[in-house]
Amino acid sequence: MISFIELKHKTGSLRPIVILEQYLNYRLRYFLKKFLLGILFINFVLLLISTEAEKIQLNDLANFFETYAFTIRAFFFLLLSFWLIIKLLDAFFYSVYFDTDNVATFELARTIHTSNPDDLVKSFFQSYQGKNILLRLGVDKKLLREFLDNRKDTVNDVEFEMEDDVDGFITMGDYGLALFKIDKELQNFFSGQGITEKDFCNTIEWVKNIEEQKIANGIWWTKEKLAKIPSLGRNWSFGKVYLLEKYGHTIFQDKNYQYLGGKDKIYEKYTDQLQNILLKSEGANAMIIAETSDIAMNIVSTLGRVLINGRIHSALEDHRIFILDGSALVNALKSKVEFENSFNEILVQANNAGNAFLVIPRLTAFIDSAFEIGVDVAEVLSEFLSSSSIQIIALTDERGFHQSIETNKNLMQHFEKLVIKKIDSEGALNILQEEAVRIETEYNILFTYQALEKISESAVRYFSDSEYSDKILDLIEEIKIKALTEGKFFVTEKEVTDVVALKTGVPQGAIDQGEKEKLSGLEEILHQRVIGQIAAIEAISKAIKRARSGIQNPNRPIGSFLFIGPTGVGKTETTKALAESFFGSEKNIIRFDMSEYNSFDALEKLIGGTGNKTVGNLSAKIRENQYGVLLLDEFEKADKKVHDLFLQIIDEGKFTDVRGEEINARNLIIIATSNAGSDLIYKASLDDKDIALEKDTVINSIIDRGIFKPELLNRFDGVILFHALKDEHIAKIAKLMLKKLATRLLEKGIKIDINEQMINYLVEVGHNPQFGARAMNRAIQDIVEGQIAEGIIDGKVTRGSLVKFEVNPLSKELKIIV
């Protein structure tokens, strides 16, 4: 354990520059250096003029300078001495700051040596870095001040102690964490602000890195920085690659390199391995295998950055990286002979150049398209793969590699594999932190730590269609644009959730007052559309609330339900109401009639076929619209293999289509409907039994009949029974349907009078317990809509008409009265 006194002692070597920073910080020194240099330059020009004025006999000017020349000269030397002092203090600062013997960071030393020993926590947050940490955590300054002033206990230097760091180097993060662990009140305060221990520690590290980077930018004399200056005549000794320039480009011209952003930090470790492969004496070719070919290209781009920054191995420093445009080559040269000759010439020129790394992106696609015109790429390449003058870096995605390259022994014996792992959330956060700082230096905005964490989290949950690092960078870019257009300075979690909600249609973030009211009254809203079905509505409402609160399992769909009940009792209507309440529109329903998927090729139709390379309907629809309600009508009629597929989808929230691509179903509410067991439900309704009490009987019967497997039923968040409709329900439904008709008629300028007599008649005629509300719908269509339509055609019903319906006492039929 380390006490505060020991900590002070350990940071003692940094104390002189802590003092220097207190009185003359580096920003002030930077300004003074520039200012003094400006004045020195003016002074120097004046001195020159004074000498020249005498020579060209400008008497007045010469007299002026004669009087003041001495003063100007004295002033010049005085300023020069000040400038030198600042330069030396700078050198002193940088030397001590980056001294490899330091056992703690400068920022920690600064905080420790300026702390009030009676209240370390307050001093921590009042320090320069402490203030920055709070800013990045989005903590309200006023709240913090109130908290700091009203604490019961404070942490003083005597009671402070922290664990020894494993690597012996102590950072602000270690110190902050120690304070956090000691001070329970601080923990509670942060917890109230939604800040976890991990958030706090990561933010401290991030702030420290930003500060260190700023200071490191002031140093120009390191080997790494000097190596960035391009040298003279280096390329004179190497050959030209004319044909490669036509059918390819250098890495620095590649889009991937230009959009690399902060991704190089993640991939740099792979470039070390890549360099090791390329350093071998001959036949040193690399095959980079990643989730996608673009990710593999990121490694090459990072190698490009390492090369230009002069951090590459000295044996590789004169090399140039060329990217072959395989598709351009195949498109331009249609015949086998032409293609073979040109491809061979490209390789000859690259070989003769003596310093080329030839990158072949999307190797599988290149091999396949060349094969179509009868060219065996591996054979053309084979002559050059053993050469020491040219090195080939082939890029491929995992699927292509396993499908067609791995088994090609002739090709693989010349390549060494480099397998790239997927980026994890920590890696993503690092990219975002660097990108945020880059944006902040360009624009007047500031990202909080929580905003970046939300971006990283949302990218995984909501956007699964592209590379993780690209998704997060696209998202931060969109958030930046929104913040700039709205004139916002702080980019917090809310700004992120707003953009994500806009892009996906899935409600996000904190629940505002309007939404709070909507959610609490959700059951009533749903009941306005769905008549009866109290238990079903209650279950759905609960699921929506759970999903909206963000506590549901992120690795499963938002919700999954099996609606069981007879036809026309409100299963589809509930789905529509659900889509409207959660996603804002009924349009967000992806509907499948599962009776179409009961043949032997049902699975092929849904996820694609291997033989004919068709795209599956389910894969295509979900890829088009990842956010919404997936409605599986008549689910019991689907093939058993299809049931198994959905068992996996509901369980894992994803599935793999026939092309091997993973499809994300975690942003869907899955609703399967079924008539299975509706005979039992109907009977229970006739006997006036409570359907909830009959649930087990119905479910057991469904399992016994072999309609659904018990494990499938168990996977659903809820199996919901819809009871048969009674007269009172049918009457309400009739009223609802007529109201909808009234709205449609009003658009045409026609009014309709909806009365009890009309409703009673419709209930009498249109109530068919077997078909539920569907029968009522048909009755309204036949009786009401039919007569109005006739009236419109006959010209009796026109714009401005008021339409009434009455039961004719003689015929006992409902007749229109205009």
Partner 1 sequence: MNFLSIIPYYFLWHYSQGLLDYFKVWKNLVWFLWNFFSIKILVKTFFTPFQRLKETYSGGLDLERFATSILITTLMRLVGMIIRTAIIIFGLISLTVFIIGGLLGIVVWLFLPLIILWLMFISLIALIK
Q: Which of these ranges, 20-28, 192-200, 391-399, 678-686, lies near partner 1 under the rule CB under 8 A? A: 20-28
71 scored as a contact of partner 1 (CB under 8 A): yes
Rounded distance between C-alpha atoms, residue 469 and residue 472, angstroms:
5
38 scored as a contact of partner 1 (CB under 8 A): no
Helix (H) or strand (E) holding 768: none
CB of 22 to partner 1, least distance (A): 7
Which of 6, 22, 63, 751 touches partner 1 (CB under 8 A)?
22
595 scored as a contact of partner 1 (CB under 8 A): no
Q: What backbone torsions phi and psi does residue 249 show, to the nearest 5 degrees?
A: -160, 170
CB of 55 to partner 1, least distance (A): 24
39 scored as a contact of partner 1 (CB under 8 A): no
Sequence-separated (6 or more) residues with CB below 8 Å from residue 202: 429, 449
Q: Which of these ranges, 174-182, 352-360, 483-491, 545-553, lies near partner 1 under the rule CB under 8 A? A: 352-360
CB 430 within 8 A of CB 265: yes
- CA distances (Å), origin 725, targets 568, 682, 734, 770, 783: 9, 9, 12, 9, 21
Which of 19, 48, 332, 419 touches partner 1 (CB under 8 A)?
19
Rounded distance between C-alpha atoms, residue 518 and residue 512, angstroms:
10
CB of 63 to partner 1, least distance (A): 20
CB of 40 to partner 1, least distance (A): 12
CB of 78 to partner 1, least distance (A): 4
Helix (H) or strand (E) holding 357: strand 356-360
Smaller CB separation from partner 1, 237 or 610: 237
Smaller CB separation from partner 1, 141 or 234: 234
Smaller CB separation from partner 1, 221 or 489: 221
Which one, of 357, 7, 6, 424, lies nearest residue 175 by Cα?
7
Rounded distance between C-alpha atoms, residue 248 and residue 772, angstroms:
67
Sequence-separated (6 or more) residues with CB below 8 Å from residue 324: 244, 247, 248, 346, 358, 359, 360, 361, 366
12 scored as a contact of partner 1 (CB under 8 A): no
CB 81 within 8 A of CB 39: no
Listed in sequence order, the DSSP H helices in 486-608 are: 493-504, 513-520, 522-529, 534-549, 571-583, 602-607
Smaller CB separation from partner 1, 239 or 509: 239
239 scored as a contact of partner 1 (CB under 8 A): yes
Smaller CB separation from partner 1, 197 or 345: 345
Sequence-separated (6 or more) residues with CB below 8 Å from residue 770: 566, 567, 682
Smaller CB separation from partner 1, 166 or 229: 229
80 scored as a contact of partner 1 (CB under 8 A): yes
CB of 274 to partner 1, least distance (A): 23
Smaller CB separation from partner 1, 23 or 489: 23
3-class secondary-structure state, position 554: coil
Which one, of 553, 539, 742, 573, lies nearest residue 654 by Cα?
553
Q: Which of these ranges, 127-135, 178-186, 238-246, 597-605, lies near partner 1 under the rule CB under 8 A? A: 238-246
CB of 273 to partner 1, least distance (A): 26
692 scored as a contact of partner 1 (CB under 8 A): no
Per-residue buried b or exposed e for 172-210, using 16+ beta carbons within 10 Å of the residue's own CB? bbbbbbbbbebbebbbebbeebebeeebbbbbbbbbbeb
158 scored as a contact of partner 1 (CB under 8 A): no
Residue linked to tokens 């719908």: 777
In terms of Cβ atoms closer than 10 Å to its own Cβ (0-12, 13-18, 19+), residue 510 is: exposed
Of residues 119-138, those binding partner 1 (CB under 8 A):
none
617: tokens are 């309907």
223 scored as a contact of partner 1 (CB under 8 A): yes
Say how many residues touch partner 1, by CB under 8 A: 48
232 scored as a contact of partner 1 (CB under 8 A): yes
CB of 279 to partner 1, least distance (A): 18
Smaller CB separation from partner 1, 70 or 169: 70
Smaller CB separation from partner 1, 48 or 85: 85
- CB neighbours of residue 123 within 10 Å: 19
20 scored as a contact of partner 1 (CB under 8 A): yes
Smaller CB separation from partner 1, 16 or 786: 16
Which of 34, 60, 221, 696 touches partner 1 (CB under 8 A)?
221
Helix axes 727-747, 756-766, angle to 10 degrees: 120
- CB neighbours of residue 477 within 10 Å: 13
113 scored as a contact of partner 1 (CB under 8 A): yes
Residues that bind partner 1 (CB under 8 A): 16-20, 22-24, 70-71, 73-78, 80-81, 84-85, 88-89, 91-92, 95-96, 99, 113, 221-223, 226-227, 229, 231-240, 318, 352-354
